[in-house]
């Protein structure tokens, strides 16, 4: 399997379905076991995916494409999946249609290239208590994504506003008791409609951000998550499976405060100007002594020219300044004027940044 640029969740899901093949080879099973052994997180994520898909009964519910459908597949991965489906009049899905368990079987992946979006929806639903699935309890489920260079404004069914940065993906799951958003990748700004009786939470990484009638921004990068409060107050707590959370495990942020967390640690809460982290909505990416690897990760979501690194030292360089998303080619071209680096064009759509070592 090719796992380049895949999240651990996507890889685990891919393995789950590969193992459903009755004709799977011993070599493929050994490859799966090797992947599990590479990291405890791999095994944990696989168990999580297995539990989700078994819970939803999706093994029986997914209709895999036949040979004719695969041959007629014209989806190339550049357009948004939702737009592709609509233009082809294939699988249609009302973003805020009311769903119960029986409906889940109707969420079909007619093209292999669109499966990850369906998996994200199933993954979202499974985070609710089993009580949410009992009886005739209904959920509002939706998936929203943005393409390269696109910022997308979405009005949710409760009146909350969601702004997606480029190349971002969120899953939305609302019940009568709670509102949950899962930021799968990218960046999003949340303007939350107040409703104390119906908590609004965003889950990403291994933590939960709960709004208390507020505006906040979350940026999910390859090894960290950055949360910035623009207005009001939020709480930050570990993601748990209905286990009680001690107050000492929570952090509270108010207007103008920011926190960064990874899989294993949470930074101190700092005071920051909320304008810089939110400037992306106006076409400006602003940074103050930020590692170049994070700057480039943001830029790659807005640019058709993808930037790669040749070495770790270049990634660690600190950048301060403003990047205008409308002029990314110019920013790339002037980088050598600001840093001791070389910009090498591999193709029209890819460049490599490498450090100039004075001792070499």
pLDDT at 312: 92
- Half-sphere exposure of 38 toward its Cβ, with a 13 Å CA cutoff? 13
Q: Which of 226, 246, 271 is at the close of a domain?
A: 271
pLDDT at 50: 73
Structural domain contains residue 247: yes
Both tokens of residue 89? 């009049």
pLDDT at 59: 40
Residues 263 and 332 in one domain: no
Residues 110 and 250 in one domain: yes
Q: Which CATH number characterizes residue 157's domain? A: 2.60.120.1440
Angle of CA points 147, 122, 222, to nearest 5°: 50
Task: Measure the CA–CA gap between 351 and 354, rounded to whole angstroms.
Answer: 10
Structural domain contains residue 186: yes
pLDDT at 139: 76
Structural domain contains residue 10: no
- 3-state SS, residue 255: coil
Residues 124 and 227 in one domain: yes
Which residues are within 8 A (CB) of 321 and not within 5 positions of it... i.e. 6 or more apart?
A: 286, 287, 338
pLDDT at 244: 46
Task: Measure the CA–CA gap between 337 and 355, rounded to whole angstroms.
Answer: 13
Residues 179 and 305 in one domain: no
Inter-axis angle of helices 115-126 and 40-56, to 10 degrees?
A: 80
Residues 259 and 236 in one domain: yes
N- to C-terminal Cα separation, the chain: 39
The total number of structural domains in the chain stands at 2
Task: Measure the CA–CA gap between 145 and 268, rounded to whole angstroms.
Answer: 31
Q: Which CATH number characterizes residue 311's domain? A: 3.55.50.30
Range(s) of the domain holding residue 351: 283-355
137, 128 Cβ separation under 8 angstroms: no
Name which of 144, 143, 160 is nearest 152 in CA terms: 144
Structural domain contains residue 124: yes
Residues 249 and 339 in one domain: no
Put simply, whether the predicted model's pTM sits higher than 0.85 gets the answer no
Structural domain contains residue 31: no
pLDDT at 92: 35
Task: Measure the CA–CA gap between 265 and 260, rounded to whole angstroms.
Answer: 9
Q: Which of 225, 249, 271 is at the close of a domain?
A: 271
Structural domain contains residue 207: yes
70-83 residues labelled b (16+ CB within 10 A) or e (exposed): eeebebeeeeebbe
Residues 156 and 207 in one domain: yes
Instruction: Compute CA distances 286 → 221, 259, 278, 325, whole Å.
Output: 16, 17, 9, 11
Structural domain contains residue 17: no
Residues 217 and 307 in one domain: no
Task: Measure the CA–CA gap between 320 and 295, rounded to whole angstroms.
Answer: 10
3-state helix, strand and coil shares in percent for the chain, rounded to the nearest 5: 35, 30, 35
Residues 260 and 342 in one domain: no
Name which of 119, 126, 161 is nearest 143 in CA terms: 119
Name which of 172, 175, 216, 171 is nearest 197 in CA terms: 175
pLDDT at 152: 95
pLDDT at 1: 54
Taking only the tens of pLDDT, the chain with its 360 residues reads 545 557 888 888 888 888 877 677 777 877 887 888 888 788 888 877 776 665 444 444 444 454 444 444 554 545 555 555 555 443 333 444 444 333 333 333 333 334 444 454 444 444 444 344 444 456 788 889 999 999 999 999 999 999 999 999 999 989 888 999 999 999 999 999 999 889 999 999 889 999 977 899 999 998 999 999 999 999 999 987 544 455 557 889 999 999 999 988 999 999 987 677 889 999 999 998 999 999 999 999 999 999 999 999 999 999 999 999 998 999 998 889 888 999 999 998 999 999 887 544
pLDDT at 196: 87
Which residues are within 8 A (CB) of 127 and not within 5 positions of it... i.e. 6 or more apart?
A: 173, 180, 182, 203
Q: Which of 271, 296, 311 is at the close of a domain?
A: 271
Residues 158 and 127 in one domain: yes
Residues 136 and 258 in one domain: yes
Whole-number CA gyration radius for the chain: 21
Structural domain contains residue 7: no
- Residue 178 β-bridge partners: none
Residues 265 and 311 in one domain: no
């Amino acid at each position: 399997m090719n796992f380049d640029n895949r999240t651990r969740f996507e890889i685990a899901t891919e393995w789950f379905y590969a193992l459903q093949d009755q004709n799977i080879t011993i070599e493929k099973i050994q490859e799966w076991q090797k992947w599990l052994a590479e990291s405890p997180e791999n095994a944990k994520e696989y168990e999580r995916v297995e539990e989700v898909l078994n819970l939803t009964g999706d093994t029986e519910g997914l209709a895999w494409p036949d040979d004719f459908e695969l041959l007629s597949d014209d989806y190339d991965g550049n357009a948004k999946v939702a737009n592709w489906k609509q233009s082809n009049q294939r699988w249609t899905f009302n973003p805020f249609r009311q769903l119960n368990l029986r409906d889940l079987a109707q969420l079909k992946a007619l093209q292999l290239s669109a499966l990850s979006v369906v998996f994200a929806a199933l993954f979202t639903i499974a985070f609710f208590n089993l009580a949410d699935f009992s009886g005739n309890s209904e959920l509002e489920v939706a998936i929203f994504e943005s393409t390269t260079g696109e910022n997308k404004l979405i009005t949710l069914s409760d009146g909350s506003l969601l702004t997606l940065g480029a190349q971002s993906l969120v899953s939305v799951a609302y019940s009568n008791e709670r509102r949950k958003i899962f930021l799968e990748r990218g960046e999003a700004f949340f303007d939350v409609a107040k409703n104390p009786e119906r908590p609004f939470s965003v889950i990403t990484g291994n933590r939960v951000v709960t709004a208390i009638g507020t505006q906040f921004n979350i940026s999910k990068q390859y090894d960290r998550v950055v949360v910035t409060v623009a207005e009001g107050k939020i709480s930050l707590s570990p993601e748990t499976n209905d286990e009680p959370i001690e107050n000492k495990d929570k952090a509270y942020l108010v207007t103008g405060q920011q926190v960064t967390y990874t899989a294993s640690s949470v930074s101190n809460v700092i005071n920051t100007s909320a304008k810089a982290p939110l400037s992306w909505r106006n076409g400006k990416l602003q940074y103050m002594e930020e590692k170049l690897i994070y700057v480039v990760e943001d830029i790659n979501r807005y640019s058709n020219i993808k930037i790669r690194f040749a070495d770790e030292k270049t990634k660690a360089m600190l950048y301060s300044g403003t990047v205008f998303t409308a002029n990314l080619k110019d920013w790339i071209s002037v980088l050598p004027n600001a840093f001791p680096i070389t910009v090498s064009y591999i193709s029209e759509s890819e460049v490599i940044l490498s450090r100039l070592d004075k001792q070499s």
